[in-house]
Amino acid sequence: MHSVTLKHNFETAHRLPHLGGKCVNLHGHSWHTEITIAASRLTDRHTVVEFGDFKAVMRNWIDVYLDHGVMLGHRDPLLPAFTTARCKVYTFGVDWDGADWPTVEAVAALLADQAGRWLALIDDMPADAHIAHVTVQETATNAADWYPPAPGREPMQGRLPRMAVKDVA
């Protein structure tokens, strides 16, 4: 198996009112992501994917939708204020239906989902090229990893489990 790993970073605020504690406060992170693409053979150019081709679409999507913006859950009461003020908001549960809240695990799943779409735009790659791993680091001490479902295991049903939110501050 061959693999390549591409990295990008983005400065984005979020909050997680369903977790309580300090996560209730709107706060920013310098998020770092690493996306690994694997294939069983190389192209005629001896690549899995050409770095620049993949990074162009990866960077464009992240910079347009996430960088210097805010990630909120669709049930977050702050949402109307940010949209009214015409701030850049990426709304989990609306802009992407895979999770309700922007935890680091959910951001890793979002980027894995998007990375599959970016890969589909690449012309020159082996037939079995696929997203093998996504890491998202939100702080020096906190990170999440995403891997595709193991063969033979039931794949995730498209979204992270819905969470009961009684008092979203």
Ligand X SMILES: Nc1nc2c(c(=O)[nH]1)N=C([C@H](O)[C@H](O)COP(=O)(O)OP(=O)(O)OP(=O)(O)O)CN2
Interacting residue ranges for ligand X, rule: CB under 6 A:
16, 19, 23, 103-105, 139, 141-142
Q: What's the min distance (Å) between Cβ of 103 and ligand X?
A: 3
Nearest CB to ligand X, comparing residues 50 and 105: 105
How far apart (Å, rounded) are the C-alpha atoms in residues 92 and 71? 7
Nearer to ligand X, 49 or 70 (CB): 70
What is the spatial distance between Cα 131 and Cα 115, in angstroms, rounded to a whole number? 7
Q: Which is nearer to ligand X, 121 or 156 (CB)?
A: 156
Residue of minimal CB distance from ligand X? 103
Q: Shortest distance, CB of residue 20 to ligand X, whole angstroms?
A: 9
**Least distance in angstroms from the C-beta of 16 to ligand X:** 5
d(CA 77, CA 71): 13
CB closer to ligand X, 37 vs 73: 73
* Least spacing, CB of residue 145 vs ligand X, in Å: 12
Closest CA relative to residue 118, chosen from 49, 68, 30, 31: 49
Place of tokens 């996306």: 35
Contact 45, 7 (CB under 8 A): no
Residue 99, SS3 per DSSP: coil
